[in-house]
Structure 1
């Protein structure tokens, strides 16, 4: 059976339920490690998810039914997802593989507990005053995922935006543990603007622009070790060059974002992106790193240095990590793969901007084919 290379229509919720038996198992997916896009669309209150393959410019449905899931983060072919009833799973998007995760109400910690409010909402409660917070839905949940080789281990980290804790679990856990982000945390490391999960290392960009580094590999009820640098001041980005200032003055910035990424060698990068208000949806990126001389905790000034090249690597911002470039797999060197700048922390309503930015030429490639689809969200991923 030959599947059409485009999606002719959006399926209704009833259609989606009856379509499970009709899904093709003959789709030829690209080589392991080739970049794909998970696309999410919504129509009439019904969410549908599909996979876009840039190599042949087509959108396909997967073998398993992915309708109704929100995709929070990925690791290889595995995605951390949440359904409308706020149940978390790790799913293999190319098979029927699924790992059921503990319920959110299983959170164990010193300050907070979570209770369910009906089928589709939960709320967190501070033990000290037992006053409930505002109810959360699946749309409020953010998350990161790491899955080891052959699923020998995995780590899940999630949080509700504007809340003062993270929840995390590892393989074998029957509950989530609490990571406090304000109480009992050094002032400069409080809050969450962005986070990257690389193995057992969790990097958190704090509200004051310090980077918090947590080691989640420990055992026991806590299992958390703070290994953050003890630097004095936050990481200040240098001013834009004169050429950039002229360009910004001409075209008003309509949106901007600040996030972090971690290179293969473990170096933390600050990623600044802004969109200019014109018909071309022009977007620019700047990468920064700490000056090695400023890593001494006694250093007073901690200005960042701009990184003009990633060399033979590419940065996937949805993953927060760099990977080796590989033309045979369609991974372009010295490039940034982008979908949106508010993956973890939503400050203003935004829309996906699916593109690849080349740091050498300062040029950007958009996927114009996808403009025909009502894409609500998208994420780059690298199946392995």
Structure 2
């Protein structure tokens, strides 16, 4: 087919004209426009940095579906039903989300495009102490391979997970766990099955169990039942390496170890208050018998902001709406069947102890929410 010489090439639009177009787009359409071509991507980075990089909230209303909330604009953006219908969001990394669908299949999806990465089925986990057998679309049987009396039936609602994606290389890591079970499953790009990380059997006592986990690159940080920190290196070709001498559960930009405690309570005026305490390990008080140190409370996060949903800190940037010495929070417990989650979407200033909430969300009946940082 012969090309029309008068046809317009979108990639060759004058920069000034393209800038005017991009600046008029909503935050959702802007991120979609960035993937049209390389020239549009570069223009978006140079001209609309604040709109394209500020923290956003992914919300899951009770009536179903998903919506985006931009705190800077105090505006909710609705997504089409076909995009996220039937998905449950487990974790995020930039614009990428780890989701499970109504048939208990895991995917990685790009929030602003139609790109989707299919992940291995949950029952593909092998070469470990546990086996997973599918009993239906939403139910699985988990058993110890060497002890058939240890059988537990688990629902997909019990599943939680974390995700890391490198936008430049396309590499990714996925880690998931059935709640109240003794192992983690993980895979990397190119894997056709999951490998197992046991959290109890064969693990020294202080590092057993799992209360919370954070994934940063190929490093997995696990808060154990005894409130110790276990660090695992997942970069190897033959599984993982336990490198627990380096502690963390929320990871700073420099890799420093943080441990965060939060408490909510009601006042006499029925106002909800929340406090946060941030700790790090004291290297001056190393216990050689356990590789552990005592906790020292931090007065300040400095010029960084802590996103508890992601388990990491980022450099504060006023042009992006990222406030320094602040903690971005959504809820206290993401395992819905375990207990009622404490939904409290806010930004906590660690210096002034003041809390900022978002009145634009008051009309939404939200059952879940997650902060994420689009790139």
Structure-2-length-normalised TM-score: 0.83
Counterparts in 2 of 1:35-46, with a 5 A limit? 35-43=55-63
Structure 1 residue matching 2:62: 3-state secondary structure: strand
Shift of 1:224: 0.5
CA distance in 1, matches of 2:65, 2:309: 20
Q: Look up the match of 1:58.
A: 75
Q: Look up the match of 1:198.
A: 216
Q: Look up the match of 2:12.
A: none
Counterparts in 2 of 1:1-384, with a 5 A limit? 27-28=29-30, 31-43=51-63, 47-62=64-79, 65-131=83-149, 133-220=151-238, 223-229=239-245, 260-278=249-267, 279-295=270-286, 297=288, 302-343=293-334, 348-384=339-375
Residues 26/210 of structure 1: CA separation in 2 closer, same or farther (3 Å cut): closer
Q: Look up the match of 1:12.
A: none
Shift of 1:225: 0.3
CA distance in 2, matches of 1:193, 1:26: 34
Contact 1:201/1:215, CA 8 A, preserved across alignment:
yes
Contact 1:315/1:335, CA 8 A, preserved across alignment:
yes
Contact 2:89/2:98, CA 8 A, preserved across alignment:
yes
Greater shift in the superposed pair: 267-276 or 121-130: 121-130
Contact 1:336/1:358, CA 8 A, preserved across alignment:
yes
Residues 87/151 of structure 1: CA separation in 2 closer, same or farther (3 Å cut): farther
Shift of 1:31: 3.5
Residues 345/304 of structure 1: CA separation in 2 closer, same or farther (3 Å cut): farther
Q: Which runs of 5+ in 1 are unaligned?
A: 1-23, 232-258
Q: Look up the match of 1:18.
A: none
Count of residue pairs the alignment pairs up: 329
Contact 2:253/2:314, CA 8 A, preserved across alignment:
yes
Contact 1:123/1:132, CA 8 A, preserved across alignment:
no
Contact 1:202/1:216, CA 8 A, preserved across alignment:
yes
Structure 1 residue matching 2:168: 3-state secondary structure: helix
Contact 1:62/1:94, CA 8 A, preserved across alignment:
no
Q: Which runs of 5+ in 2 are unaligned?
A: 1-25, 32-49
Shift of 1:132: 6.4
Contact 2:305/2:316, CA 8 A, preserved across alignment:
yes
Residues 367/379 of structure 1: CA separation in 2 closer, same or farther (3 Å cut): same
Q: Cα deviation per residue 1:196-247 (whole Å; 9 max; x = unaligned)?
A: 1000000100001110000000002xx200001299xxxxxxxxxxxxxxxx
RMSD between superposed Cα atoms in Å: 2.3
Structure 2 residue matching 1:105: 3-state secondary structure: helix
Structure 2 residue matching 1:353: 3-state secondary structure: strand
Please tell me whether Structure 1 or Structure 2 has the larger radius of gyration of its CA atoms: 2
Contact 1:85/1:138, CA 8 A, preserved across alignment:
no
CA distance in 2, matches of 1:151, 1:102: 20
CA distance in 2, matches of 1:84, 1:124: 19
CA distance in 2, matches of 1:113, 1:139: 19
